[in-house]
């Protein structure tokens, strides 16, 4: 699968590395000139948005044409008032993008090391039913167990993100902390 990873911070680099190791064709796009977002999006089937939440709307607006028909996995979290996800931004600014929400409710460390004492961590996600198989392939390639919440469950994922931050940072348990449905 051809995957564009937009963002080269901890989340983007970690996901891209895992996906490339699983055999996917990964291209990065970032603000640096040598990593053109336009070039990364060209020919991609899936786009992973791993940039600061505050600039996701600008990304959707600026690249709407290239996102048309592509599965766009939003990993970014907006902090502050309003939702943590960017579903409304994509619907308004890049309506041809096929929006999915995943990789937002765990720290990047868990994408690098998704197994805990021999148990694979779960990753909750939301996507339209037509995109479920594609998103699950991406999640599985990273080494996590996909748990489908259904379409439009972005606010629920934001609540999981809040829970993860509370447990990992607020409770002092550390960032290598994940969820498992038993």
Residue 72 banded pLDDT, cuts 50, 70, 90: very high
Q: Which of 91-100, 146-155, 167-176 has the lowest mean pLDDT?
A: 167-176
* Total-model pTM: 0.95
Q: Are 51 and 41 in contact (CB under 8 A)?
A: no
In the chain, where do the E strands start and end?
Answer: 2-6, 25-29, 46-49, 71-74, 98-101, 115-116, 119-120, 122-127, 145-148
Please report whether residue 180 resides in a domain.
no
Distance CA 164, CA 69 (A): 32
Total tally of structural domains belonging to the chain:
1
In a domain, residue 37? The reply is: yes
How crowded is residue 35: how many other Cβ atoms within 10 Å of its Cβ? Answer: 16
Residue 23 located in a structural domain: yes
Phi, psi of 119 (to 5 degrees): -110, 130
| pLDDT of 124 higher than 70 | yes
Q: Give percent of the chain with pLDDT exceeding 90.
A: 90
In a domain, 175, yes or no: no
Instruction: Give 28-63 pLDDT, tens digit per residue.
Output: 999 876 679 999 999 999 999 999 999 999 999 999
2 burial via Cβ count (<10 Å: 0-12, 13-18, 19+): middle
C-alpha 7 chain-centroid distance: 11
Structural domain includes residue 155: yes
Q: Are 53 and 80 in contact (CB under 8 A)?
A: no
Contacts of 34 (CB under 8 A, 6+ apart): none
- CATH number for 149: 3.40.50.720
Q: Is residue 115 part of a domain?
A: yes
Inside any domain, residue 124: yes
In the chain the first and final C-alpha atoms are separated, in Å, by: 31
Q: Is residue 176 part of a domain?
A: no
Q: Range of 33's domain?
A: 2-170
């Amino acid at each position: 699968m051809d995957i564009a990873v937009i963002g080269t911070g901890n989340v983007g680099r970690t996901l891209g590395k895992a996906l490339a190791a699983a055999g996917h064709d990964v291209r990065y796009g970032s603000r640096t000139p040598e990593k053109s977002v336009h070039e990364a999006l060209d020919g991609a089937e899936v786009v992973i948005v791993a940039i600061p939440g505050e600039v996701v709307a600008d990304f959707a607006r600026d690249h709407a044409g290239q996102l048309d028909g592509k599965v766009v996995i939003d990993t970014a979290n907006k902090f502050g008032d309003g939702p943590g996800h960017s579903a409304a931004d994509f619907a308004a600014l890049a309506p041809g993008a096929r929006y999915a929400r995943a990789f937002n409710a765990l720290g990047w460390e868990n994408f690098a090391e998704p197994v805990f004492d021999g148990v694979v961590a779960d990753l909750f996600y939301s996507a339209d039913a037509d995109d479920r198989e594609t998103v699950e392939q991406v999640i599985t390639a990273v080494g996590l167990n996909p748990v489908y919440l259904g379409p439009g469950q972005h606010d629920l994922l934001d609540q999981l993100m809040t829970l993860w931050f509370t447990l990992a940072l607020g409770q002092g348990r550390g960032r290598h902390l994940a969820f498992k449905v038993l």
